[in-house]
């Protein structure tokens, strides 16, 4: 055996010369690296060199001269006379509607959505009872075509009482769904992007990301 310039050992083949003996042939020339292997090594080298580069979505975005002019001159006027008043009107209208029926903004969330359903289950007893009574009272007033008395509408309906429980529900559901999809005790059932419970769309069981 001899060593090639790659450092690996190359076997020396022997072939019969004549009936009287054998003559070793010349050592095989080292085989050049295949195209795909060389391409892979080059791609990996470039990836390692660029891996520490700041991603494009974290880079500082520079505006053009026209965009700077619009931002400094046009947008303040647009916001002052068009966008700002319109958004303020929409906000005041939503607040007035909620106050008229004695509701909170978070009472309008759809309880059939998995995250909201879990968040409602996590509510403390007093908050859950208050939410239920507000909704029943609003349903009755809507049926009778009435509203709350004005003296009882002095409250802020935009307090996000359900927000911390929604965040906790997201964490819980994400943990449970990860355990279902990547279960270590039954790889045949819980394998890949489907759980094995009948769904065919990959990752369709995930509702929190």
| Per-residue model confidence as pLDDT tens digits over 176-204 | 877 776 554 544 455 566 666 666 676 66
Region class of 192: left (phi > 0), else alpha (psi between -120 and 50), else beta: left
Rg for the chain, CA atoms, rounded: 35
Token pair listed for 174:
């994400």
Query: Which segments of the chain have a pLDDT < 50?
Result: 1-15, 184, 186-188
For the chain, give the number of residues: 209
Strand partners, 22: 16
pLDDT of residue 8: 47
């Amino acid at each position: 055996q001899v060593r090639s310039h790659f450092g690996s050992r190359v076997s020396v083949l022997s072939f019969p010369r004549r009936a009287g003996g054998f003559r070793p042939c010349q050592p095989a020339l080292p085989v050049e690296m295949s195209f795909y292997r060389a391409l892979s090594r080059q791609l990996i080298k470039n990836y390692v060199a660029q891996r520490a580069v700041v991603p494009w979505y974290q880079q500082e975005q520079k505006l053009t001269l026209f965009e700077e002019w619009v931002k400094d001159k046009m947008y303040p006027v647009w916001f002052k006379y068009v966008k700002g008043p319109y958004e303020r009107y929409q906000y005041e209208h939503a607040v007035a509607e909620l106050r008229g029926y004695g509701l909170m903004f978070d009472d309008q969330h759809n309880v059939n959505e998995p995250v909201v359903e879990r968040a409602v289950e996590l509510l403390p007893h007093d908050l859950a009872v208050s939410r239920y009574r507000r909704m029943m009272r609003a349903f009755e007033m809507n049926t009778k075509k009435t509203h709350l008395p004005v003296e009882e509408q002095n409250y802020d309906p935009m307090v996000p009482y359900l927000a911390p429980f929604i965040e906790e529900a997201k964490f819980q559901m994400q943990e449970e769904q990860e355990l279902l999809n990547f279960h270590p005790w039954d790889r045949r059932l819980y394998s890949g992007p489907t759980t094995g419970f009948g769904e065919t769309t990959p990752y369709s069981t995930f509702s929190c990301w």
